[in-house]
Amino acid sequence: MLIRKAKYTEHQKLTEISFESKGYWDYPDEYFDIWRNELTITAEYINIHRVYVAEIQESVVGYYSIVNLPQDIEVSGIFINKGFWLEHMFILPSFIGKRIGTNMVSHLIKVCNDNNIKQISVLADPNSKTFYEKMGFQYEKEYPSTINGRSTPLLKKKI
């Protein structure tokens, strides 16, 4: 497996991976309508942020992205603190459970070390909370979700 910087031309493939990976958890279709903007990756997004892909036999099977928020922001009524965030980490469903995520987190830690990033935060899908805890992230609290009546776990990892 190779992990490398994403190419801006891969934005559509990364969007497809976002939706397929999220679909693994059998969420209702109406959730995907709400998540559409969150799960869509653009060429501009790749050019602005640190986006890395996991590739097996020259085929992209997953990706993650790091976003630096220079100040606190509000998104859909939710306040997000400044700092470095693991904004996306998605893997094609047929590759879940094959250590792709573990390898991507190891790569993430190396990128953080190389860039003097001391802490990374993630608003994780509730189904992936245990994975992040196994990777050394510490659960902080539940955060409001963009889906009414739901919350999402906030986890942080000191690097």
Q: Where are the domains of the chain?
A: 2-158
Determine the average pLDDT of the residues in 67-90. Answer: 89
78 phi/psi in degrees, rounded to 5: -110, 130
24 has pLDDT over 80: yes
**Alpha helix locations (H) across 2-140?**
11-23, 29-39, 43-48, 100-114, 129-134
Share of the chain above pLDDT 90, in %: 79
Determine the average pLDDT of the residues in 49-58. Answer: 98
76 has pLDDT over 70: no
37 has pLDDT over 90: no
111 has pLDDT over 90: yes
What's the one-letter identity of residue 144?
P
Note the pTM of the prediction, 2 decimals.
Answer: 0.93
* pLDDT classification of 89: cutoffs 50, 70, 90: very high
146 has pLDDT over 90: no
145 has pLDDT over 90: no
54 has pLDDT over 80: yes
**CA 77 to CA 124: how far, in whole Å?**
18
Question: Among 1.20.1540.10, 3.30.360.10, 3.40.630.30, 3.30.390.30, what is the CATH number of 2-158?
Answer: 3.40.630.30
77 has pLDDT over 80: no
Averaged pLDDT score across all residues of the chain = 94
107 phi/psi in degrees, rounded to 5: -65, -45
